[in-house]
Amino acid sequence: MNAANYGIDLKKGVLNKGNWYRIAHVMKKAIQGEDITVGFLGGSITQGCNASAPETCYAYLVYQWWCEKFPKSKIAYINAGIGGTTSQFGVARAESDLLSKKIDFTVVEFSVNDEDNSHFLETYEGLIRKIYYSESKPAVLIVNSVRYDDGRNAQTQHIKVGKAYDIPCVSMKPTIYEKVLDGTFASRDVSEDDLHPNDLGHCLMSEVITDFLEAVYQGVIYTSVSDLETEMVVPISTNAYEDSIRLQNDNSDGVITINEGFLADKEPQHNIREIFRCGWTAQRKGARICFAVKGTCIGVQYRKSVSKPAPIAKAVIDHDETHAVILDGNFEETWGDCLYLETVAEHLPYGVHIVEIELIQTHKEDKVPFYLVSIISSGK
């Protein structure tokens, strides 16, 4: 164990023990030789960014723990991590990327992309509810990664959700990051950019998770887990995001009311990480597209590109130009094009709202067109 070599107290990683009923149920199925599916939903850390190979990512290492622990079971692996994304997008894609696979157990990890505020408390609660109350009733483990330079993450908000729903939560902050603080190792020993773990960081992260799973396993084998299924929980937030709907060019018939200059991208999407697919592109100043969507919250997904200059658009809700939101297609980072999700309206009165996207600035030397990836509507 790498964690033992560094004096990491893995038990300190458990922020909330939670209810073990569902995880124990999955383990019992696996012991009996039934097929199970384990999933992982999150951002670039879950995707495996900065791991030397897919097999050294924490998610795959946790999957391997399941395979080694339950050799009689055929275990499927679903990695639904997409870099640079938050729980706000996570809830909008949970059904297509995760729940449609009929998962039995899933890790949810968005703590370094979500911010520590009430907006992400609400989006995260919506995501957890979407998963936890889905048809297959999967076991859920909330995982909080951390920024290794300053210890920032959104676990203050995520733990509120975990405790409210009695869902187990583990964290890298009181475990791996603590050893950065006490000088056992430097942040760059576990993460070359202070954010994405390297192979050692992924290994340590997996050990924090599997140490908790091992405790549940021991309970199943030797002491029996007496927890009962939790009852339906009343939301702790406004809960406008649980029923999020993502609109792209393949499911927006009848929703687009005006299209002047936006072209549908019909290139097929071969996997979930081909993120700039099924949207609309535009290059001409004044090009606009309008959607009539139901809900209370509206988000616009678009491409911020490192290929500059790029066009700039605006989003206007219900013809209210005074509260127009700028959608700048230029990305100031260098790591690649970003799938950016801009919240353009939140907690409006429920009903049909008009979303207008218009190009307001283009350049002769634009390297790429403006790419509108999707409109996400939420709330009842």
CA distances from 369 to 302, 328, 337 (A): 11, 12, 13
Q: What is the mean pLDDT of the chain?
A: 96
State the pLDDT at residue 122. Answer: 98
Q: How far apart are CA 45 and CA 195, in angstroms?
A: 8
State the pLDDT at residue 191. Answer: 97
- On whether the pTM is more than 0.85, the answer is yes
Assess if residue 99 is contained within a domain: yes
State the pLDDT at residue 228. Answer: 87
CATH code, domain with 286:
2.60.120.260
**Could you read off the pLDDT of 178-196 as tens digits, one per residue?**
999 999 999 999 999 999 9
Range(s) of the domain holding residue 313: 245-378
For residues 171 and 262, membership in a common domain is answered with: no
| Spatial CA neighbour of 111 closest among 20, 188, 208 | 208
Percentage of the chain modeled with pLDDT above 90:
94
Residue 224 has pLDDT above 80, yes or no: no
Domain boundary among 174, 193, 223: 223
For residues 179 and 263, membership in a common domain is answered with: no
Residue 97 has pLDDT above 80, yes or no: yes
Measured in whole angstroms, the distance separating CA 313 from the mean position of its chain's CA atoms is: 26
For residues 16 and 121, membership in a common domain is answered with: yes
Confidence of residue 136 (pLDDT cuts 50, 70, 90): very high
Measured in whole angstroms, the distance separating CA 275 from the mean position of its chain's CA atoms is: 14
Assess if residue 236 is contained within a domain: no
State the pLDDT at residue 62. Answer: 98
For residues 197 and 290, membership in a common domain is answered with: no
Assess if residue 237 is contained within a domain: no
- What is the mean pLDDT of the segment spanning 218-235? 88
Residue 2 has pLDDT above 90, yes or no: no
Q: How far apart are CA 365 and CA 363, in angstroms?
A: 5
- What is the mean pLDDT of the segment spanning 47-64? 97
For residues 145 and 290, membership in a common domain is answered with: no
How many other C-beta atoms are found inside a 10 Å radius of the C-beta of residue 219? 17
**Could you read off the pLDDT of 106-115 as tens digits, one per residue?**
999 999 999 9
Assess if residue 239 is contained within a domain: no
Residue 42 has pLDDT above 80, yes or no: yes
CATH code, domain with 117:
3.40.50.1110
**Could you read off the pLDDT of 335-354 as tens digits, one per residue?**
899 999 999 999 999 999 99
For residues 33 and 160, membership in a common domain is answered with: yes
For residues 185 and 59, membership in a common domain is answered with: yes
Please classify residue 200 by burial: count the beta carbons closer than 10 Å to its beta carbon, then call 0-12 exposed, 13-18 middle and 19+ buried: middle
State the pLDDT at residue 1. Answer: 61
- What is the mean pLDDT of the segment spanning 293-304? 98
Assess if residue 228 is contained within a domain: no
Measured in whole angstroms, the distance separating CA 371 from the mean position of its chain's CA atoms is: 21
Domain boundary among 188, 223, 258: 223
Q: How far apart are CA 152 and CA 235, in angstroms?
A: 26
Assess if residue 134 is contained within a domain: yes
Q: How far apart are CA 80 and CA 94, in angstroms?
A: 9
Confidence of residue 227 (pLDDT cuts 50, 70, 90): confident
Domain boundary among 191, 223, 255: 223
Assess if residue 231 is contained within a domain: no
For residues 188 and 274, membership in a common domain is answered with: no
State the pLDDT at residue 223. Answer: 78
Q: Which two tokens stand for residue 304?
A: 């911020």
State the pLDDT at residue 380. Answer: 86
For residues 213 and 275, membership in a common domain is answered with: no
Contact 327/374 with Cβ under 8 angstroms? no
Higher pLDDT, 222 or 116: 116
For residues 275 and 203, membership in a common domain is answered with: no
* Residues 6+ away with beta carbon under 8 Å from 228: 19, 21
**Could you read off the pLDDT of 252-264 as tens digits, one per residue?**
999 999 999 999 9
Backbone φ, ψ for residue 55 (5° rounding): -75, -10
Q: Number of structural domains, the chain?
A: 2
For residues 202 and 62, membership in a common domain is answered with: yes
State the pLDDT at residue 190. Answer: 96
State the pLDDT at residue 149. Answer: 95
Residue 164 has pLDDT above 80, yes or no: yes
Q: Which residues pair with 355 in a beta bridge?
A: 291, 317
- What is the mean pLDDT of the segment spanning 73-81? 98
| Spatial CA neighbour of 19 closest among 173, 198, 164 | 164
Please classify residue 115 by burial: count the beta carbons closer than 10 Å to its beta carbon, then call 0-12 exposed, 13-18 middle and 19+ buried: middle
For residues 260 and 210, membership in a common domain is answered with: no
- What is the mean pLDDT of the segment spanning 210-230? 90
- What is the mean pLDDT of the segment spanning 22-44? 97
Assess if residue 315 is contained within a domain: yes
